[in-house]
């Protein structure tokens, strides 16, 4: 049994923000992460962090933009907490040495992204914001934090309605038991449930599946954001082309060079993501190719080094000023129901970042609000833990003896998800995917506990994907009307 004050699952911005604050207060923290410490969506983030730091901006504006993008399905208190606490927490982060891009006078540069009424996105290294932020957060943790890489968390250790830690399998196939006073889920989203995604390969919805098995409430699962501009060549998704490219003047065109967002939405290419993604998708379904025309974007290579690298390594000639794009899954608005301080239905279990659903994003996330969420709610979660006095209880783990039969491949799950609970959904067809999932549900188990000790990691990952896919399909079936990223074609 490995004892620690706090065990954190994952090593993205949510995890590292919690760990950074706790370790300064001498809490012993263990981070367990599935691959390397920088393997996360956080490291891949390009555009930046939205925050009210410019003179012409106001928290009310950021609040309203977030609510409008979220179709007012947001939890208004969570949005208010995010936008009002953000300036102070981001300034504090800058004081730790975080170097956001500045102009020649040393003032922060503010980028523009979709559905923001003005430029409020701070960024670092051009479009390398996520990596720079993660590197700074890693510098901010001290010797109180141990990071265990290449170790997959299999399940939470639950006794009654309390979480006492986690069970993992390390890279040498050893099963490890952690006992912790506090457990923090920071496993990110669900991108790998779909065939086209911007997400890291480790992002398979494990945290949601574990929380579900533990009896946590999950919310808003049907709201999945597709990004309209993934680099797409011959139907293959090869990386993200940040929305900041459109914020800098890029426009979406068809093969004839016609501007496809003209007349679709008043904000044209910078309309909310669901609107732009659906428009790109409708052209794709009609067999048309769509390009991002970057001819008016100044200093493209300098401002977008990551996008430049992704394009050039995949043979795109940027001299032609046209990047072939298509939509892909980017962000999950739903998740484990949590407060802005990370609290969940289960005592001692906290959820932070994309795996959590505080309601802050409503039915559609405003661009660049999620790195912010990780930092701000990460800090509030750490504060909550520091102010609490919970203790783990020694417990005897009991395991189900249910083993898994034949499972589908990841590619089969991905293709079903895209077909039935993708960008456009048809109510009458959703039962088909629910029944398909049920074929793989062990008898009388409702995607609950299985014999995790004898289920290899790759099979458990697929079981987690089936669990989350099934829950998303049920949530999509239950929401009868279109709202934000959940779009039903009647």
Ligand X SMILES: Cc1cc2nc3c(=O)[nH]c(=O)nc-3n(C[C@H](O)[C@H](O)[C@H](O)COP(=O)(O)OP(=O)(O)OC[C@H]3O[C@@H](n4cnc5c(N)ncnc54)[C@H](O)[C@@H]3O)c2cc1C
Question: Does residue 34 touch ligand X according to CB under 6 A?
Answer: yes
Instruction: Out of 51, 152, 184, 251, point to the residue binding ligand X (CB under 6 A).
Output: 152
- Which residues, other chains included, contact 287 with Cβ-Cβ below 8 Å and sequence gap of 6+? none
The residue from 169, 273, 365, 425 that is catalytic is 273
Q: How far is the CB of 154 from ligand X (least distance, A)?
A: 7
In the complex, the smallest distance separating the C-beta of residue 122 from ligand X, rounded to whole angstroms, is 10
Whole-number CA gyration radius for the chain? 22
Burial class (CB in 10 A: 0-12, 13-18, 19+), 226: buried
Given the complex with ligand X, which of 138 and 488 has the nearer CB atom? Answer: 138
- 24 assigned to active site: no
CA dist 259 and 249 (Å) reads 12
Q: What is the DSSP letter of 108?
A: B
Site string for ligand X, 313-332 (x = CB under 6 A): ------------------x-
**Cα–Cα distance, 304 to 49 (Å, whole number):** 16
Q: 411: how many CB neighbours lie within 10 A of its CB?
A: 9
Using CB under 6 A as the binding rule, the residues of this chain from 213 to 242 that contact ligand X are 240
Tell whether residue 89 is a contact of ligand X (CB under 6 A).
no
3-state secondary structure 187-210: CCCCHHHCCCECCCCCCCCHHHHH
What is the x/- site pattern for ligand X, positions 127-146, by CB under 6 A? --xx----------------
* Cβ–Cβ under 8 Å, residues 163 and 154: no
Pairing type for strands 49-50 and 121-122 reads antiparallel
* Residue closer to ligand X (CB basis): 31 or 433: 31
Using the rule CB under 6 A, is 114 a contact of ligand X? Answer: no
Q: Is 366 in the site for ligand X (CB under 6 A)?
A: no
DSSP 3-state assignment of 155? strand
Q: Provide the minimum distance between the beta carbon of 70 and ligand X in the complex, in angstroms, as a whole number.
A: 14
User: Could you tell me which stretch among 34-42, 61-69, 321-329, 391-399 binds ligand X (CB under 6 A)?
Assistant: 34-42
State which residue, 69 or 430, has the beta carbon closest to ligand X. Answer: 69
What does the DSSP 8-state code read for residue 353? G
13 binds ligand X (CB under 6 A): yes
Check: CB of residue 41 under 8 Å from CB of residue 12: yes
Q: Binding residues for ligand X, per CB under 6 A? A: 9-15, 32-35, 39-42, 44-49, 129-130, 152-153, 186-188, 198-199, 202-203, 206-207, 240, 331, 353-355, 368-371, 374
Catalytically active residues are 273
């Amino acid at each position: 049994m490995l004892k620690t004050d706090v065990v954190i699952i994952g090593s993205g911005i949510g995890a590292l923000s919690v760990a950074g604050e706790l370790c300064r207060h001498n809490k012993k923290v263990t981070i367990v992460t599935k691959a390397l410490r920088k393997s996360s969506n956080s490291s891949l983030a390009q555009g930046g962090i939205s925050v009210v730091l410019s003179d012409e901006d106001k928290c009310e504006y950021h609040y309203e933009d977030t609510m409008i993008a979220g179709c007012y399905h947001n939890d208004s208190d969570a949005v208010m907490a995010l936008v009002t606490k953000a300036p102070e927490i981001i300034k504090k982060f800058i004081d730790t040495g975080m170097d956001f891009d500045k102009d020649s006078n040393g003032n922060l540069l503010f980028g523009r992204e979709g559905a923001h009424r003005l430029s409020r996105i701070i960024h670092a290294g051009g479009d390398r914001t996520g990596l720079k932020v993660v590197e700074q957060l890693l510098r901010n943790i001290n010797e109180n934090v141990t990071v265990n890489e290449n170790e997959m968390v299999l399940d939470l250790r639950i006794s009654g309605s309390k979480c006492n830690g986690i069970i993992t399998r390390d890279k040498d196939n050893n099963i490890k038991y952690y006992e912790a006073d506090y457990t923090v889920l920071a496993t990110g989203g669900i991108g790998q449930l779909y065939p086209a995604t911007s997400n890291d390969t480790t992002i398979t919805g494990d945290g949601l599946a574990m929380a579900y098995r533990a009896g946590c409430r999950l919310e808003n699962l049907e709201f999945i954001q597709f990004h309209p501009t993934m680099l797409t060549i011959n139907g293959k998704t090869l990386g993200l082309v940040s929305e900041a490219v459109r914020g800098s003047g890029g426009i979406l065109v068809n093969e004839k060079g016609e501007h496809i967002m003209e007349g679709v939405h008043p904000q044209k290419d910078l309309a909310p993501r669901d609107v732009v993604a659906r428009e790109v998708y409708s052209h794709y379904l009609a067999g048309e190719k769509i390009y991002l025309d970057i001819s008016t974007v100044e200093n493209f290579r300098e401002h977008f080094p990551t996008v430049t690298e992704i394009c050039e390594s995949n043979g795109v000639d940027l001299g032609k000023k046209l990047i072939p794009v298509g939509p892909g899954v980017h962000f999950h608005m739903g998740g484990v129901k949590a407060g802005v301080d990370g609290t969940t239905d289960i005592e001692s279990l906290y959820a932070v970042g994309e795996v959590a659903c505080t309601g802050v994003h409503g039915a559609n996330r405003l661009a660049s609000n999620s790195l912010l969420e990780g930092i701000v709610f990460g800090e509030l979660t750490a504060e909550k833990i520091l102010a609490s006095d919970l203790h783990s209880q020694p417990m005897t783990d009991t395991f189900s003896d249910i083993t898994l039969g034949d499972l589908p491949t990841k590619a089969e799950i991905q293709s079903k998800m895209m077909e039935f609970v993708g960008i456009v959904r048809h109510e009458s067809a959703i039962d088909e995917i629910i029944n398909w999932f049920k074929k793989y549900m062990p008898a009388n188990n409702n995607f609950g506990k299985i014999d995790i000790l004898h289920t290899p990691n790759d099979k458990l990952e697929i079981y987690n994907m089936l669990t989350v896919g099934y829950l998303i399909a049920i949530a999509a079936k239950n929401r009868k009307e279109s709202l934000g990223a959940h779009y039903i074609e009647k």
